[in-house]
Amino acid sequence: MALSEHEQRLLDEMERSFYQSEADVMQTVPGARRRMNYRSLVLGIVVVLVGLGVLVGGVAAQQLWLGLIGFAAMLGGVMLMFVRGSETNLSADTVPGENPGDSGAQSAARESFSERMERRWDERMEGER
């Protein structure tokens, strides 16, 4: 079923508005396209546990400086858990799990949302005939 001109214009306007708002959100949220760095997470947990052990050891030995070192290690471990490395950035052209050298993968990644939906709609309509 085809859309009237008015409906098509409204749909195009809504789509442009959606893409504009999406672009605004992506620009204001730094790191929105990043993945979790599990290596830093695990390393941070280990550092926190070691720091906790040093802190407890410092309290048991009544050594203030050892307790402070343990606390600093725990703080550093927590900070390390939430660090997201630069190697985890996803570029706009690549999709996780695909090789960027594949020309088919690049063309599929560059295909906009509306183009994908239009292609899928056309495929669906051709299948009904």
DSSP SS3 for 34: strand
DSSP state, residue 92: T
Tokens linked to 18: 């959606």
DSSP SS3 for 82: coil
Q: What is the pLDDT of residues 20-64, one digit of tens each?
A: 777 666 666 555 556 677 888 889 999 999 999 999 999 999 889
User: What does the alpha-carbon distance between residue 76 and residue 82 come to, in Å, rounded to a whole number?
Assistant: 10
pLDDT of residue 45: 92
Q: Cα–chain-centroid distance for residue 40?
A: 15
Label residue 5 by pLDDT band (50, 70, 90).
Answer: confident
DSSP state, residue 101: T
Phi and psi (nearest 5°) for 34?
-110, 155
Tell which wins on pLDDT, 56 or 19: 56
pLDDT of residue 91 exceeding 90, the answer is no
